[in-house]
Amino acid sequence: MAIYAIGDVQGCYDELRRLIDKLDFDPAADELWFVGDLVNRGPKSLEVLRFIRSLGMCAVVVLGNHDLHLLAACEQPERADASMRATLDADDADELLDWLRHRRLVVYRPELNTLMVHAGVDVSWDPLQTVKLAREVEQTLHSDAYKPFMRAMYGSEPSLWSADLAGIERLRFITNCLTRIRYCDAHGRLDFAHKGPPGSQPEGLVPWFDLPERATEPVRIVCGHWSALGLIMRRDLMMIDTGCVWGRTLTAARLDGPLRTFTVQAKKNWGEAPGAL
């Protein structure tokens, strides 16, 4: 058995299939963990969704901001861009989007000392609290309340966590933290205006993973989202969005046993401006 994490696919189906071939993946024994952003910008989001869904239980998926954006576009067609249209217009769109809506926001495997999330976590949340808070949003997505949530999801406030947050403000903060976070101030206040690599941000902002006394520091966090950083491998952090949709590479990393990474080169640059969401 082997467990591999795969970075942001974003509709790059051909690269995904080449990468999986490189892994010598066995669907009867192995698992593929996807860090979110399966769709958008790339040319074959529909094929990506169909393929990963077909993998069944051996595909472990967390939602990214682009995945949520696709779900929102289903309810608000004016939000759909050209890269979404083939998916939304497909004969099996309802089945695929229902499957996507029922994916998780966080996966935690204590036996691997590993937590997978798309973007990151609040400085004050430990692994179990992160899972518990993610479940609040997941339960909303899995219920009849998901349509109003999709309409109210957008926005960057509140920017600071409080256990007293309630209703849509609480759900929005949790969602933003798990699927959009990059920089914070020293108090953990989220900043969404700056998306470049460390060193490009204004004074007073730090990457979320470098905040001191981060409660998830004892576990290994596997995530994507921040392609400007490229591949980062630390004891406590594995960032594997290596910018396939921007013409760079798609990366997989083995999570069990000795650490090993695998990459394939992208066919072309499908993006416009990195980090637009």
pLDDT per residue, tens digit, the chain (277 aa), is 899 999 999 999 999 999 999 998 999 999 999 999 999 999 999 999 999 999 999 999 999 999 999 999 988 877 788 888 889 999 999 999 999 999 999 999 999 999 999 999 999 999 999 999 999 999 999 999 999 999 999 999 999 999 999 999 999 999 999 999 999 999 999 999 999 999 999 999 999 999 999 999 999 999 999 999 999 999 999 999 999 999 999 999 999 988 899 999 999 998 764 333 4
User: Can you read off the two tokens belonging to residue 125?
Assistant: 């949340």
Distances (CA, A) of 167 to 122, 131, 148, 158, 262: 18, 18, 12, 12, 42
Q: Encode burial over 262-272: b for 16+ CB neighbours within 10 A, e otherwise.
A: bbbebeeebbe
Task: Tell me the CATH number for domain 3-265.
Answer: 3.60.21.10
pTM of the model: 0.95
Extended beta strands in 103-258, E state? 106-109, 114-117, 183-184, 190-191, 206-207, 220-223, 232-233, 237-239, 249-254
User: Residue 112's CB: how many other CB atoms inside 10 A?
Assistant: 16
What residue segments make up the domains of the chain, in order of their start? 3-265
